[in-house]
Every structure is written in C-alpha cells, then in structure tokens.
Structure 1
Amino acid sequence: MFYSIIHEVPGRIRVKLAGSVPEGDIDALERVLMADPLIEQVQVYPRTASLAVCYRSEQAFADRECVLACIAAVDAASIEAARADFSVALAPRTNNLMIDIANLVGGYVARRWFLPAPLGVLFALWNYRAYVAEALRSLVAGRLDVPVLDAAAIGISFIKGDPATAGSTMLLLGLGELLEDYARATSEHELIYSLLDIPDYATRIPVGDPDLRGAAEERVAAKDLVPGDLIVVRTGMPVPVDGVIERGLAMVNQASLTGEPLAVERSVGDDVFAGTAVEDGEAYVRVRSAAADTKVRSIVNLVERSEALKAEALLRRESLADQIVPWNFLLAGVVALTTRSLERTSAALMVDYSCALKLVGGISVLSAMSQSAREGFTVKGSKHFEAMATADTIVFDKTGTLTEATPKVVEVLAFGGWTRTEVLRFAACLEEHFPHPAARAVVNAAARAGLKHRERHAEVEYLVAHGIASSLDGKRAVIGSEHFVIEDEAVVIPQEARTAIARDLHGLSVLYLAVDGELCGAIGIDDPIKAGAAQALRELRDAGIEHIVMLTGDSEQAAARVAAAVGIDDCRADLMPEDKHEIVERLCAAGRRVIMVGDGINDSPALSAAHVGIAMGSGTAIAKEVADITLTGGDLESLVRLRKLSSELTRRMDASFVQVIALNSALLAGGVTGVLSPQASSIIHNGSTVAFSLRNARPYTLRAEA
C-alpha cells in the first residue's frame, strides 16, 4: 500500500494514503493492521484518506520500521481476506457522528442567520411534521408515550408564537437522538465484535468419497470453509454453515432459527442451516455459503433475541417509565391551569423518564454481554444475568464439566474367552461413530495400540445416556454403563468378573461390553479433574452460592472420587437424563434459584429446567442450544467471573435507576417552578441521558461479593 508520512512522534505515526478508503474496507483495514503484535490502535480517516497508528516503541527505530513495513504490506488480497472473515461493516464511526452533528447544527445556524423570518417559520413547521406524525402513530396505537410528549412540548412553542424556541427544541431533541443512537450502536458493535472472535469448528472431508469407508476427516476452523467443501455432522454436533445434505439422515434441531423445539428430519437433498444442531444421526453436507456470512447472521439473531430476554427488573423499570408519561401530561395540565404559563407547561413536557431508563439499562446489558464474550462466556439475554446474580444453588454434571473431558483408557479386562485386544478393538469399532468423551477415549486407546478396527457390526444405535447397541454376526452387541448393560439389557456378570472389576477398576468410570447377553469385557476410564475446579467452587461459595450439587450418570465410585476432590455438598450417581431433570425441578420447586452446568445431550433436559442453564464450550451443540449461557472454553473460573459480572450489572442498573429518577425529577421541579427554561431542561435531560449511557458502556470491574 502506497503512503506518505504526515506526522509522527515516538509511538504514533499518521500517514496519507494514495486514495480514499471505502466505508466497507475500514473494518478490514483496521483488522489487518491490528494483527501486527506491535500495533496497539488504528484509526482510519476515510474522507481525508489517512490513518493513524499507535504502536509499542520499546526499540524505537526497529519498531517504527516494522510498523511501516506492516502498513506497506497491506494490499487488496489482505483486505479481501479480512473482509471475508468479517463480511459486514457494523462499526459506528466517530467521524461520521461528528459530520452528522455538524450538518444538523450548521443547518440550524445557517437558517437562523440567512433565512428571512417567514421562511424560517415555514421550515420549522416542515420539520415539526415528523414529530406530529410520530405522535399520531402512538396515539392511534393507544399509547401516550415520549413522542407525544415531544410533539406537545414543541407545539406549545408554536402556539405561543415562538417558532425560534420550537426550532431550538427540535435541534436539541435531534442532537440527543443522534448521540443516543451512537451510544447504543457502539455498544452493539462492541458486542458483535466480541462474539465474532469466538471460533467455530467443523469436521471436513478433504478428499475421497463419503460412501467409501475410512474417508479422511480433519477438524478445521469454520471460517476456513468455502462453498463446495464437504463436511460431516453427527449426533450432538453443530451445523456451522448453510449447506445441502448429500448423504445420510439426521434429526436436526432448528429452534435457534424457527423457535420450534422439536427436531425435524433432514435427508439427502434437504437444506441445513448454520446455528442448528444434530440431535441424532449423521449427514454429509456440501457447503453452500461462507461461514463468515452465516456466523454474522447468527450473531445478529442473538443480539436481536436478547431484547426478548430482558431481566424482570429491567422490564419493571421500563414499564414504570412508560406509566409515568401520562402523569407528565397531568402535571403539565396542572401547571397550565395554576400558572397560566405556556413556558412552564412546555418545560413539564420536555422531561421524561422513559428514554433515559430504557437507553441506560439497555446499554448496561449490552456492555455486560460484550464483556462476557471477552471473558469467555456468551449470554443470550439480561434475564440470565439476573438469574445468575440471584442464584443460591449450582448443579454440575461431572464428565466434561468438572473433569477435563479428555478421558484415557487405563485398564481393559476381558471375559468369556475374549482377549483384551479383541475387547478394545471391537469397543473402538462401536464407539468411533459418536462424539462422547468416553467414546473418544476408547477410539484413541485403540489407535495408540495400533489396532485396526474394521467394521464387523451392523448399523449402530446410540441410546442417549445409556450406550450403544448393534449386532455382531447376528447377535446383539451392547456397550455402555452398568445401568444399561446389566439392568436394561439383563446381562449377567459372573461373581469372578465382579470381583475383578471391583479390584482393578475401582474409582474409574467403567464401560461394559456384552454380546448375546454375555459379558465380554470391561474398560476402565480415568478422566482427570480440571485444574482449579476445587478453587473455583470455593470462590463460588464466597460469591454467595450456598448449595453445590453434582449429578452424573457415572458410577458411585467414580462420582464419589470427584465429589471428594472438589468439595461437592450433594452427589448423585447412576442417573438418567430424566432423573437429572427431575432433581433440578425439585430444587426449583423448593424455592432455590438454580444454575445447571453441563455439556452433553443427556444434560439438556436439566439445563432447560434450571433458572439458568450453562453449557460448556466443549460440549454438544444441543446442550449449547438449550442453555441460556455458553462458556467458550472449559474453564470453571469463568463461572466465578460470570457470577461477579452479573452482580456488578445488577448494582450498576440499580444505581442508574436511582440517579435517572432523581435527576429528571429535579429537572421537572425546576421547569414547573420557572427556575429552568424548556431549552435548559432539554439540554440537561438529553445530556445526562447520553452521559449516563456512555458511563454505563464502560467495562465492569469484577469484585468479590459483599
């Protein structure tokens, strides 16, 4: 990229570019330059074809040269690549705001100075028509709200023969609206950018025909997918892009797009869409559109849906603000009757509570959602912050939540004439089709042992929270938990086998393999506890969580080991999904405010039953879809930060509510007593609304609970 240096000081360079920067390239140019580790800030000035770069200058000359080399290296290809990564420009521009303000104020001043008075009055009346139209729409809809207040206040100025005051009032309202829109857009933009940095992944088939067994697979970032790529989605996996199914059959949950909670069947030739998830089955999907486009769409949907998931406290306050508007009119009527002053009457109509409360509260939530994304969790609406802040009970799944979800096979036992090698090979053959951590452990153990597990079984059936059923040489083959194999499948375990399992697999999670009703083997799996799990649970107690529960489908021995290590109050093992759901419902019915944390398909019913459901980022797409909050990674410390952030949001909104009510009440009092003119009331009212909004857009300080 061609440039010339306009000005520089140590750590900052401003350069003139060879040509103007299109609006659509501003985000891409900033992202390209910000990729350089030396560059700390980039500001593009499209109208003047220049940009300013702030950089670290520990080694002044060398760092300067590196930054200049980075600027020079920017070309059309790098801009295009960055634009593909983020295909829409959503950032509100400060320079655009300044231009809009200059146009608004400059036009007003020019009319006051140069237009003859009669033309000035006509122009003011022409501008007033928009306020009247908005007020009429509200009245027709049966609403007595802020647009009606504004139209009435301006109209009084015209009635008393003061078009100059009417014009200045409209100017102030216009300025307030510009600043409020900018403040909200800035918060939404920050949120969207934060969410865009959260990676999605896909399983791509780089070569080969999916009809051929053993087709190669690779895990890639979803943003690297391009139209024409072939991916595979299986039970519990997300659909990361829009595409069409070329092979397979899957039950797809489309609740995020359609709101329909039941999965729908999708087969060859059917379309599937990003943001949905596979509940059951397997499908090979031909990518139809770039991942960046579909991700932006899903993020925008999330931001829009968050408006429908407002906290009860926020809804109550916004409702109160709307209910106060009729009292504004009543107050104005009393002032008009008692003072006979149109100016004081206008002042009573110039101040409302609704705009400030709605804007300040909304920006507080957007700022919290944005910080959440940076901290490592995605929150779907402010009601979930409220539930998180008031919760007194937290319920954990075990595998993948309190443990690493990277289990390893540590022991294999064989029975009934089978060898350990045969047990591991056949178990891997069955388990390779499913994404559960225990299944991956078995497949990985077979791979490390160099075992080829050519498929000898028929079609497999995955029974959620139970195990896998198939057939081998016409005989029923099952692998799964003790509950599934022994109780549901009625497999008899000889006493000798029981003794060996109790002795050699004590404290481990155990998978049982049986064929034709006879036990063939048992596989002991160890899943290490997450580093810092015990510390995170202690901090949650310090943050006000009174009761900590663990619910797992694993064995009593494995569950007890984890519970003792991390400090669990109440541990329940050998549970089915419906059991977890029932326990969470009982806790809620007992008056507890419950958080449920899980990662698997079997956790989905319990996640939906809790006051707030939290899915681990490494978990299944179904769990993430059902959950109200998703942790980007598996760090339990994120739960502590989320609790603190939720409490800080509550404190900020409470303080803002009191301040808005107090200030606007004072403005009303000043207006009706004649201390403040309508223009002064408008300036202070709109200025304070913007000031409160900008203050509430600041990052939160995560402090300990009182």
Structure 2
Amino acid sequence: MVAIRHHIPGRVRFRLSGISLDGFSEWIHAGLLGIQGVKSVRVNEAANSIAVEYDQTLLSKEQLEERLHQLDWSQATESETEHQYTRGDIALNLLGLLAASFVPARYAALTTVPLVGNTLLEGAEQLSEAKVGTEVLDAVAIGLSVARKDYRTAMLTQALLSAGEYMEQQTSRNSDTLLADLMQPSTTQVWVRRNDQEFQTSSDELVVGDHVLLSPGDAIPADGSIISGKVLVNQASLTGEPVPVRREDGAATYAGTVVQDGNAEMLVEKVGSETTTARIAGVIAQSLSEKSQTQVATTQMAERRVNITLAIGSLVFALTRDIERLASVFLVDYSCALKLSTPVAFKSIMYSAAKQGLLLKGGRAIENLAAVDTCVFDKTGTLTYGDLEVTDVICLREQRNAQELLAIAASVEEHCNHPLAQAVVDAAHHQKLPHIDHGEVDYVIAHGLKSSIKDMELLIGSRHFLECHEGVDFSQLEDTITQLEKDGKHMLFMANQHQPIGVIGLRDTLREEVKETLQSLRDSGIKNLVLLTGDTVAKARQLTEELELDLFFAQATPESKATVVEELQKQGHSVMFVGDGVNDAPALSQADVGLAMANGTDLAQMAADVVLMNDNLLGVAQSRKLANEAMKLVKSNIRLAEWVNSGIMLGAALGYLNPATSALLHNGTTLAVLSRAVAARQAR
C-alpha cells in the first residue's frame, strides 16, 4: 500500500506498507526517474519511504502515487545497497578527525567510535554472510587503528573514505539530474476551446478534454484525435518520414509532430508524461543502471585484490608480528579506485555527452562504441536531409521550356507548405524565375493543387491524383518515370486542360557535414564505412564513389537491413548502424552499437544505444571520440591505481609507512583517480 506522508508543491514523500524496499533502491530509482517530469528520487530503505522531486506542470502527486501503485514488483531486481553519503557526513568526519588529532586519546574515543561504527558494522555483516570484500578490509583497517587507540588514523581513513564515496555518488546524482532535465519537453503557446470559450495558453496548462485549434506551423502539444477539419501533419519526429500525412475526423495525432497545412480542431486525450513522446524517458533512465563489461571486470578485479591484500597482510604479520605493519598493509585497498573510477568515468562522459546533445545509454554503449571498426549508414534521413531539391524538369509541350514549366509550378506551389512544394519554390527563387499570374488556388489536401493560367485549368500533384481523379494519362513518359523511380526520386506531375505538360523530379539533399563526419570517423579508427540504401545499384555506386565509402548495399528492404548487419558481424566486424526510421529498429538492435538520429522515430531511439539530440551528423563522430576518450581514461586509471597502490603496499610491508601515512597515500590515490574521472564531465 502506498500513502502520501508529506507534500509540498514540487516534492512529495511516500510511505510504503506491506512491501519491503530493502535492496530495491536502484530499481525504484530507475523506474521513477523514467517518468517525464520527475527530477530526483531518494529511497530510504530503513524508513520504507520514497521522496520524489517533480515538475508540477507535468505531474501531480496523485499521478505519482498511481505510478507507484502500477510498479510491477514481480519484475523488481535486487541490488546491493550502499549508504548515501552527504556533505554532512564529510563535515562530521572532518570534525571527528580534528577531535582525534587534538584532544586526549581517552576523549577522542568518544567521538571516533560512533563515527566509524557504521563502517565496522558493515564489515561485520559482510563477514557474517561468509563474504570478504572492501567492507571487510575497511572495517579491519579502521578496527585495528581503534584497537591500537590510534584514533587519528582511524578518523583520517574514515574521512577520506566518505569523501571518495560522496564524490562518486554526487557525480551519479548530477548525471541523473542532467538527463532528467533533457527529458523535459519544450512548451508552446496554443489556442484552446474550453467551456465554450477560446483563449491562448501554454501547452503545459492543457488538460484532458480540451479542444486545441490547430493551424499551419503549429506543434501538436499533446496526444489526441481530430474532431473536425483536415490537416497535413509532418510526423518526422515519430516516423522519420519527411512527407506529411493527412489527418481528418477521428484520426490520431501525437505530441511533438507539426501541422504542415490545413486547419482542424483536436481533442486532447493525453498530456504531460502520458504522451507518446514522453515514453522514451524510461529508456534514458535505464541507461544509468546498466553496467559495462569493463565495469564488471574491474569489480571482479577489485574483489580479487581484496584477497591479495588480506594474504599479503597476513604474511607480513606472520613474519614480523608487527600489528602496525599489518594495519598499514590493510589500509591499502586496490578495490576502491578500481571499483569507483570506472562507473564515475562512464557517467562523467555521459554527462559531458548529454551537454553536447549526445545521449549515450550507459557504460556498455560507450565500451562497444569504442570497439567498432565498421559504420553502416542508412541513407535517407542520415546522410541526407529530409529537405528535397529539384533535379529534373521534363517538358511534354514544345511551346514550353524547362524554366517556364518550373516558374509555373513555383508560382502555384508557393501557396502550399508541402516539402515538395517548398523545394520547387526554392529552385525557382535560386534561378530567379519570374512569377506567373494564375487564378485562385484550390488545395486538395494530400493530393495536389488546382489553379488556372489564362483561363485554362492547371493541375499539379501526384500521379495517382492526376490519373485516377482527373483522367490525365502519363503513359508516354513511362520509361522516364521508371528511371526516376529507380533513382529514388520524388515526382510532381503537371497537366493543363487535362493534358500532361511535364514532370518535376526531386531528390534528398546530402548533408553539408557528411564528408567531415566520415573523415573524422576514419581518423578515430573506423576502418569500413558502408552505405545501405533502397536505391538502385547505379545510384548507390554513384553516392559511394562521391563520398569515398568502402562498400554499399543497394535495393535494401526493411527486412534486409538487419541481415546486412548480421553478415558483417559474421565476417568478424564490430558494427555501428546509423538510422532513423521505424524500419531501422531491427538493424539498430542487431548492431553492436545502434545510433539513432535526432529526428528518428520513437522506436528507433528506443532500440538505439546512442541517440543524437541535435540534428547534426557530426554527432556520430563526436560520440565515437567521447567513447575513445572514456576507454582511454578508464584504462589509464586502472594502471595508475595498480602501480601506485602496489608501491604503497610495498612501502607498508617493509615498514617504511605507518598506518596514517599509508591511509593518506592510499585514499589520496583513490581521490586522485576519481578526480580524473570527474574532470571528464567538462564539455569538450
């Protein structure tokens, strides 16, 4: 049972009864942080309570309570819980260190024992479970200092330990907060009809049941359905397709999509964290809890080093019977730096990447990204923009030339916001073609345009519209149309007095940053750059040669994309796939690293390991660069921890270092390694 124990605007604390939270802090944290609008989550296992800070414009305490009720506890994963250190812990330990340094030993015990008691208790609990880990080493080392009445060394060790733990946890919390901020949607002003009144309000003030009035250029602010009117909606943010779709009575609309043309009234059915575009937030949150192979390996290495430290300490004591040397050796713990530096480094790189508009979904994604040697690009939406450019103007009337035909088309199409129309208008402007006088334009939504020139009817639109609805025959251009289709081009068909007068061909525009991105990937160690496209072999070969790619796969179908990736993997390659559409999801999942573009579909972004938050292909190369930096940092930190701690242990075993010096050097090394990892947060 979930009950609200305390609430102030923007913050609520829940108490759970009948369910134990022991061991489930991380699972609950990931589950709640994935809700759009949640800023932070604190779980108190001892009190069986959960404190949540949230955005009031997106969530209410009742919605959060309902989400807690909906948690599927059968799917809960238990994990080891650690004490959450705060600045107060560090301050108390520093005060304890001052007391142990300057007051008589008999009084210093009164302040030291309570402060180190929790560390001693954790070590005892681990031993009772027949485990020997870091907690045991810390407890034995501090316990030996307390037994020898060396309270200064005991408090120095405790203070440095708490400082190191606080740094790691604070880095994690900062990463969580940043990623939570990225999940917050942008707000817009919308026209609403509510209680028979029309007024303008912010999109975050919408409630279920509102009627939103949609006009050209409006961003749809919530999930809902059309109740009157007709609109063309650009759903590229969801489907990856740049060509708008028709939406009329009863059709579903989704938050984050944009009205291209037309006017309509929409019924709001879902708002805030319930909308379609908010669902990806859960995937983002999960990235924080995923452990990489490197992190698992360093954790295992750290656990082995605990046994080595215990063995060396026991050997030293057996040979010397010197309890001070034993304490000095036990205070050298490889595992601290090894276990802490890797996750901190990964989260710091994630933090840095997010500030640059790159979402790296956890340490495993970073690790795999640094290891890839082959990058496969799906052409449409990745190497090319969604924008189109005119490539062919084909005339069927001798009395007209290509420029005149383009000028006529642009003069009529300038009244339309469709991407094909805008491309034609841009081409005419670029060639400085004159405006052609024409009659009133009748816009047939999702089909084409009707107008007139010199009192003769003019039709512009799709072949289906002109042939099936207007009876215009374009069969004389069949070979040309077939060739344009093979080249992957879009087409606008034109007719005058129900007779064909021409066809305009358009193609996707190559991204300006393509060549720079490809060169950067090669410089970062990528050996094979591969094109994957539905175009013909000739067109694919032309683009491959233009971009100096290594390989291409033409006439690819949605089903074959994942197969191509799998075949490359069978050849021994580690593959990154870059895509954006729904049909790219299988390939994104199959690849060692899937990277989704900023305008990619929800499904593509959920399947991907890396998501570009900005629509710039250079992000692909930047993500690879950050991954390489992360792995370089992790490996250098491991070497640093190994060599420095080995030197400290040797000095302690030979009696050159007393316990206080050993603790200072060891913990100083741990903090130095952590500081290097934390420094990676700074944006490049």
Distance (whole Å) between structure 1 residues aligned to residue 255 and residue 327 of structure 2: 53
Distance (whole Å) between structure 1 residues aligned to residue 292 and residue 521 of structure 2: 22
Asked whether the equivalents of residues 377 and 638 of structure 1 are also in contact (C-alpha less than 8 Å), the reply is yes
Distance (whole Å) between structure 1 residues aligned to residue 422 and residue 585 of structure 2: 21
Post-superposition Cα deviations, 1:351-407, rounded to whole Å, max 9, x if no partner, equal 111111122222221222122223332111122222222211110011111112212
* 2:386 alignment partner AA: A
Distance (whole Å) between structure 2 residues aligned to residue 606 and residue 530 of structure 1: 22
* 1:105 alignment partner AA: L
For 1:306, the equivalent position in structure 2 comes to 288
1:186: how far off?
4.0
* TM-score, with structure 1 as normaliser: 0.62
Question: Within the alignment, does 1:614 sit opposite 2:595 as a pair?
Answer: yes
Question: Within the alignment, does 1:168 sit opposite 2:153 as a pair?
Answer: yes
Once the two structures are superposed, the pairs formed by residues 124-163 of structure 1 within 5 Å of their partners are 124-158=112-146, 161-162=147-148
Tell me: CA distance 1:523–1:620, structure 2 relative to 1, closer, same or farther (3 Å).
farther
Post-superposition Cα deviations, 1:159-211, rounded to whole Å, max 9, x if no partner, equal xx42x3246314422333224413541465267437736885689863469xx
For 2:76, the equivalent position in structure 1 comes to none
Distance (whole Å) between structure 1 residues aligned to residue 289 and residue 113 of structure 2: 35
Q: Secondary structure at the match of 1:618?
A: coil
Tell me: CA distance 1:667–1:157, structure 2 relative to 1, closer, same or farther (3 Å).
same
Distance (whole Å) between structure 1 residues aligned to residue 211 and residue 596 of structure 2: 24
Question: Within the alignment, does 1:106 sit opposite 2:95 as a pair?
Answer: yes
Distance (whole Å) between structure 2 residues aligned to residue 351 and residue 181 of structure 1: 19
Question: Within the alignment, does 1:689 sit opposite 2:670 as a pair?
Answer: yes
1:592: how far off?
0.4
Q: Secondary structure at the match of 1:568?
A: coil
1:154: how far off?
2.5
For 2:68, the equivalent position in structure 1 comes to none
Asked whether the equivalents of residues 645 and 666 of structure 2 are also in contact (C-alpha less than 8 Å), the reply is yes
Q: Percent identity?
A: 28
Distance (whole Å) between structure 2 residues aligned to residue 557 and residue 202 of structure 1: 46
Asked whether the equivalents of residues 228 and 287 of structure 1 are also in contact (C-alpha less than 8 Å), the reply is no
Post-superposition Cα deviations, 1:594-648, rounded to whole Å, max 9, x if no partner, equal 1111111121111111110111112222211111111222322222222222222
For 1:185, the equivalent position in structure 2 comes to 170
Distance (whole Å) between structure 1 residues aligned to residue 613 and residue 175 of structure 2: 17
Distance (whole Å) between structure 2 residues aligned to residue 323 and residue 138 of structure 1: 16
1:108: how far off?
4.2
Once the two structures are superposed, the pairs formed by residues 227-626 of structure 1 within 5 Å of their partners are 227-228=205-206, 285-286=268-269, 288-289=271-272, 302=284, 305-308=287-290, 310-408=291-389, 452-454=442-444, 496-502=477-483, 507=487, 509-510=489-490, 524-556=505-537, 558-626=539-607
Q: Secondary structure at the match of 1:326?
A: helix
1:225 to 184, 200, 203: 203
Asked whether the equivalents of residues 507 and 561 of structure 1 are also in contact (C-alpha less than 8 Å), the reply is no
For 1:668, the equivalent position in structure 2 comes to 649
Post-superposition Cα deviations, 1:203-224, rounded to whole Å, max 9, x if no partner, equal 9863469xxxxx99x9x9xxx6
Distance (whole Å) between structure 2 residues aligned to residue 441 and residue 622 of structure 1: 29
Distance (whole Å) between structure 1 residues aligned to residue 300 and residue 220 of structure 2: 38
1:664: how far off?
1.0
Q: Quick check: 299-308 or 331-340, which moved more?
A: 299-308
For 1:280, the equivalent position in structure 2 comes to none
Tell me: CA distance 1:208–1:85, structure 2 relative to 1, closer, same or farther (3 Å).
closer
Post-superposition Cα deviations, 1:451-510, rounded to whole Å, max 9, x if no partner, equal 6544699xxxxxxxxxxx9x99xx999xxxxxxxxxxxxxx99574123553x7785524
Post-superposition Cα deviations, 1:17-62, rounded to whole Å, max 9, x if no partner, equal xxxxxxx99xxxxxxxxxxxxxxxxxxxxxxxxxxxxxxxxxxxxx
Asked whether the equivalents of residues 486 and 536 of structure 2 are also in contact (C-alpha less than 8 Å), the reply is no
Q: Secondary structure at the match of 2:671?
A: helix
1:133: how far off?
2.4
For 1:61, the equivalent position in structure 2 comes to none
Tell me: CA distance 1:298–1:660, structure 2 relative to 1, closer, same or farther (3 Å).
farther
* 2:153 alignment partner AA: S
* TM-score, with structure 2 as normaliser: 0.63
Q: CA RMSD for the aligned pairs?
A: 5.6
Distance (whole Å) between structure 2 residues aligned to residue 499 and residue 180 of structure 1: 69
* Aligned residue pair count: 536
Distance (whole Å) between structure 2 residues aligned to residue 179 and residue 697 of structure 1: 11
Distance (whole Å) between structure 1 residues aligned to residue 185 and residue 539 of structure 2: 32
